[in-house]
């Protein structure tokens, strides 16, 4: 088990952010020391990393919390040997569709930026025969 300072350094988050996410129920430590310090397992650290990757995706913390609740429920069902419920599957499918839509938009943006970069490179590189001899 690791204390919050170690975890913050490993994950690249501030102590304040980790505490805030704990207060919101996004990532809760698995235990507390006798002195009340938050103690994190490797699974907790991975969850922090996962939530950190979601943050820049234009998802608010409430949306991330809702997504994590669906993911947690689906994992609990699977771990218990139960199939994922219809409602959870439907919600996961909506999140997946939204993610795939964002991926397509990013691919289009990357393509446009690549075209722009090639054009700018072609215009900025010296051409043979342009120099006065």
Mean pLDDT in consecutive groups of 10 residues from the start of the chain, 133 residues: 95 97 94 92 96 90 94 95 95 94 96 97 83 57
Angle between helices 4-11 and 42-54 (to 10 degrees): 50
| pLDDT on residue 120 | 96
Bridge partner residues of 3 (DSSP): 39
CB 13 within 8 A of CB 52: yes
Domain extent at residue 24 = 1-59
Structural domain count, the chain: 1
The contacts found for 53-57 with CB under 8 angstroms, 24 or more apart, are 57/102
Strand order across the 38-40 sheet: 2-3, 38-40, 31-32
Residue 40: give its domain's CATH number: 1.10.1660.10
């Amino acid at each position: 088990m690791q204390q919050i300072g170690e975890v913050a350094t490993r994950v690249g988050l501030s102590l304040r952010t980790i505490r805030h996410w704990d207060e919101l129920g996004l990532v809760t430590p698995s235990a507390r020391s006798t002195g009340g310090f938050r103690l994190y397992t490797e699974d907790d650290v991975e969850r922090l990393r996962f939530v950190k990757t979601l943050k820049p995706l234009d998802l608010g913390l409430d949306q991330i919390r809702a997504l994590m609740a669906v993911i947690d429920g689906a994992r609990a069902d699977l771990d218990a040997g139960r199939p994922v419920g219809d409602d959870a599957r439907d919600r996961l499918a909506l999140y997946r569709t939204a993610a795939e839509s964002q991926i397509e938009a990013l691919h289009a943006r990357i393509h446009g930026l690549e075209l722009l970069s090639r054009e700018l490179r072609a215009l900025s590189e010296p051409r043979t025969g342009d120099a006065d001899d």
